[in-house]
Chains A and B, each alone.
Chain A
Amino acid sequence: MTSLLSSHLEDCSTPQYFCFSVRCEVCGEYWYSSSIPFSKAAQAAQCREKKELYDAIYQREKLRAREAAGQEARERFSQCPVCRRLVCDACFLICDEMDLCRECAGRMQEFGEPVAP
């Protein structure tokens, strides 16, 4: 699941903050992770060496933010056991026998409540 999420994380970061999005493969809506500000966003690099240092810090913090976004996305996305797609809580139904995405549940005529209506 983590690797699946990691592969679906899209980078929406800017030089000021880190943000990642995941797109539900059923409804198509994007979910955005909590924005994490870059620690050096307010400081301008005066020289080339410092800029390189800031770039390195940016990449390191971005990596951490990506991991945090993945953890955050785990709370809101599930993998459908049938179609193996990544779906948001609004499209993931808790059914009697097996939890399914909305489309698979419809095909299999299963009824259930969404995780997050």
Chain B
Amino acid sequence: MKKRWLPALLLCLLLSGCSAAASGGYLISAAEGSEAYSEALLPFLPGYALRDGEDTLYAEVARGNAVACFDVQAVPAMTRGVGRYWYPHVTATVVLAVDRTRTDAVITGWNSLMESGVPAGMSSFSVIRNMLAMGALSYGLDWKTPTKQDALNYLEQLHQNGGFELDGSDAPVLICLDCEAAAWNRNGGNYEIIVPEEGTLSYRIGLLSDVPLTLEPGLDEALLSAGLPLAGGERPPGFPADYRVARTLEGKDYDRFLALAGDSSRDLRRQVFHTRLYTTADMREHILSALLIAAVILLWKGTVSHRMIRHDVRRVVVMMSWLMVGWLLLRLLKYQLPSEGTLCRMCWYGYYLFQLALPVALLYLTEILDRAEGKKRLMSPLWPPLVVYILSVGLVMTNDLHQLVFRFVPGGSWASDYRYGPGFWAIMACSLLFLAFALWNLLRKGSRSSSRRGRILPLLFCVGLLAYLAAYIQRVPLAWESDVTVNICILSVLFFETVLHGGLIPVNIQYQRLFASAPISLTLLDEDGRTVLSSPGARPISRSVWQRLRTDIQQPLLRDRDTQLHAIPVRSGMAVWQEDLSQINRLRREIQDVQTRLEAANTLLREEGEVKKRLLTAETNRALFEQLDRDMERRITSLVRLIETLPETEQSKGLTAYITLCLCHIKRRCNLFFLARQGEPLPGDELSMYLDELAELARYAGLQTLIRCGQKEGLEIRSASLCYDFAFETIAWALKEKASPLMGYLETEDARLVFRFLPGGDPGRWQFSEDLTAAVTALGGQIVCKDLDDAFGICMTIPLGGEACG
């Protein structure tokens, strides 16, 4: 229990524990039928004042009052410790009082009454009088083994034969006390007092008190003069002469009597008159049923609150539950009030405080069904019902001032004699209107539900409600005789359950099934770290883990190396789910293994590559030099021959210059060879420099040579090599033929490279090497000799860009 309720509880206990101080000094006429006795006795009991009972007989005795009651009340009470002094004074016998002005039937006892078919009744329907009559009848029908069932069967048959009513004071035959019938006769009645021949019981009336009583002398005479028979057997005139069949209870008979006559009112209603079959029949059932239903409603509130997700709907449930419980408890309080005073009437009015609120609560519930929970503001359409409710309650509670709701005679018996005023019908109409709106909302929202249950259940509820109303109008006992308060509570609960099971409100049910079938390891912990729900695969959460999660719930943590825990806060606890990291860890290990293997393989491959590279370099160099050797072999051979002839020749200067020219050619060709392998183009300036170098050396050999290079852009090595070879062979030829001067020009014309020479002599015996001619032809070019009238020209043409362009 929450601590904030403790002061209220203590206050309630304190207030309920308070009671009026034992005052004493009153003579209480507690039992019906003892009023005449009390009035006759009062003068002989000095210091006591006569007063009506305000509480139970036992409570009055405990307060020190003297209580006038029957022996069947006093003796069992004394055996149970209530009251210490019992003073019996008067005898009252259960008899049949036959009104001779209305029937001449011969009635001598219980059986003749049955046979006569004359309607009979009880002179009073109070609980104690029912007990006295039932006891007398039971003992009368079978003195040795009296049973209640015999008495009930007799009365049921009597009811079916000639009519028997509890409240039958106007019946021709009355089951009553002899002193009562004698008093009627003294007042002008014509009742024949018949002591049933089968037998009956005589009860004693006396005073029960906790303190010894001192009675003035002369009481017996006063009682006789008041028309009351004495306990000793002496009777005043007007009583039957023969009371031999009337027995008096003694000793242990009282317990038997209580077993026989207990719950008489309930049994009479149900087994004799067949009423109250579907509702409470006596005070004990009223109290117990109210407590039971209140407990059930509170239990229902607990279960619904537990199932509910939305807080606003939960508040409606709580409000509805307390309205119903409050109504029942107020009704219970009203049952406890002994008299029909103002407080009792206020309790009656107070019923409507709860009853009228229920339709408003249901209407509110149906209004918020399809709204988000965040919209806490009371919707404007709900203000009118609330205002009407407040006005209605105000109208009911002030009924004493205007009598618009209930009309009764002020000071009269309002509890049983009242009529409904226009105000009552007005507030009932409003209340029914709210209920109708709530039902309409329920049906409308249920029809939009996606589930079949959501569509059918509201319809079923409405059909059930209509069936109940129809049964009530047709006075079907189940509806007509049942408790309206309980029925309204049940209908309200059913309304809510309809909404709940129709899926119109999200609920927290089926949690166990959810957890049982959850594929993830999920655990629900309460605020103390205890496991509330857990899926099958989830391992328990240890205390240290729970503490750590509570400290920092956002931070996941490891349970072990393969399990990671995540948590989120929930109401009154936390939800923890376990993430299985074993697969991830296995994959990570596999990736690490693969990575290690790849790194090792990569190292091997790298080393292999380096070895291969070294081998390839060596092989390439070897092939390169072999190719270079092949390329230069002819030129070197020719050069060696020239060098060998150098000492024998006379013109050593010219030969030396020619040898130098050849050496230069070999050197540049080697350069071009390597450049070709590198794949780089030869800049035009560098080619120009190569050609100038050849021309310079040719001049040393005696050949006036001028070569101009008009090509500025880079040239492909093959083209450059051809140009260089063409220039070398032309110079070599010119030296040999002494065709000085020699002029050369290299230029670009229409995507062609044109290299022209104008020699100083006749090029009739001109002939280039086969290698050069083949190379030029292979490149798509040609070498031609042209007669220019007064001169000759040698021209080499090759496509610019080399073989690809040609």
The chain A residues found within 8 Å of chain B, CB to CB, are: 12, 14, 16-17, 19, 21, 23, 27-35, 76
Contact = CB atoms under 8 A, between A and B. Distances in A.
Interface stretch (B146-154, B445-453, B539-547, B688-696): B539-547
B140 to A, nearest CB: 74
Given A14-B552, A17-B551, A35-B552, A28 B544 contact: no
B548 A28 contact: no
A81 to B, nearest CB: 24
A35 B547 contact: yes
Given A17-B551, A17-B552, A35-B552, A23 B545 contact: no
A30 B544 CA distance: 9
B557 interface: yes
B560 A35 contact: no
Contacts of B551: 17, 19, 35
- What does DSSP make chain A's interface, helix, strand, loop or mixed? loop
A28 B559 CA distance: 8
A65 to B, nearest CB: 12
A30 B560 contact: yes
Contact of B560 (A14, A17, A27, A33): A27
A116 B558 CA distance: 21
Given A30-B545, A33-B544, 8 more contacts: A17-B551, A23-B560, A28-B560, A30-B557, A30-B560, A31-B542, A34-B544, A35-B548
A16 B544 contact: no
B537 to A, nearest CB: 16
B559 A29 contact: yes
A57 to B, nearest CB: 20
B652 interface: no
B552 A30 contact: no
Interface in B676-730: none
A69 to B, nearest CB: 11
Interface string B278-297: 00000000000000000000
A116 B295 CA distance: 42
A43 B580 CA distance: 37
B555 interface: yes
Contacts of A12: 548, 557
B562 to A, nearest CB: 8
B561 interface: yes
Nearest to B545: A32
A29 B548 CA distance: 14
Contact of A14 (B555, B558, B561): B555
Contacts of A28: 560-562
Contact of B542 (A16, A19, A29): A29
A63 B547 CA distance: 21
Contacts of A19: 548, 551-552
A111 B303 CA distance: 47
A117 to B, nearest CB: 11
B144 to A, nearest CB: 69
Contacts of A29: 542, 559-560
Contacts of A33: 544
Contacts of A14: 552, 555
B523 to A, nearest CB: 15
Interface of B: 542, 544-545, 547-548, 551-552, 555, 557-562
B547 A16 contact: no
Nearest to B550: A35
Q: Which 3 A-B pairs have the closest CB atoms?
A: A35-B551, A32-B548, A28-B560
B547 A32 contact: yes
Contacts of A23: 560-561
A16 B594 CA distance: 39
14 contacts: A14-B555, A16-B552, A21-B558, A23-B560, A28-B560, A29-B542, A29-B559, A30-B560, A31-B544, A32-B548, A33-B544, A34-B547, A35-B552, A76-B544
Nearest to A36: B551
A31 B558 CA distance: 9
Contacts of A35: 547-548, 551-552
Contacts of B545: 30, 32
A33 B547 CA distance: 9
A34 B557 CA distance: 14
A12 B555 CA distance: 10
Contacts of B555: 14
Contacts of B557: 12, 21, 30, 32
Q: Find the residue from A28, A30, A76 having the highest chain B CB count within 10 A.
A: A30
Contacts of B548: 12, 19, 32, 35
A40 B683 CA distance: 74
Nearest to A72: B544
Contacts of A31: 542, 544
Nearest to A27: B560
Contact of B559 (A30, A34, A76): A30
Nearest to B555: A14
A28 B562 CA distance: 9
Nearest to B551: A35
Given A14-B552, A16-B552, A35-B552, A30 B558 contact: yes
Contacts of A76: 544
A16 B547 CA distance: 15
A27 B542 CA distance: 13
B488 to A, nearest CB: 54
A30 B545 CA distance: 8
Contacts of B561: 23, 28
A27 B557 CA distance: 17
A19 B544 CA distance: 11
Contacts of B560: 23, 27-30
Contacts of B559: 29-30
Nearest to B565: A30
Contacts of B544: 31-34, 76
B219 to A, nearest CB: 82
A70 to B, nearest CB: 14
Q: Find the residue from B544, B547, B560, B561 having the highest chain A CB count within 10 A.
A: B544
Contacts of B558: 21, 30
A23 B561 CA distance: 9
B539 to A, nearest CB: 9
B182 to A, nearest CB: 85
A14 B547 CA distance: 15
A37 to B, nearest CB: 8
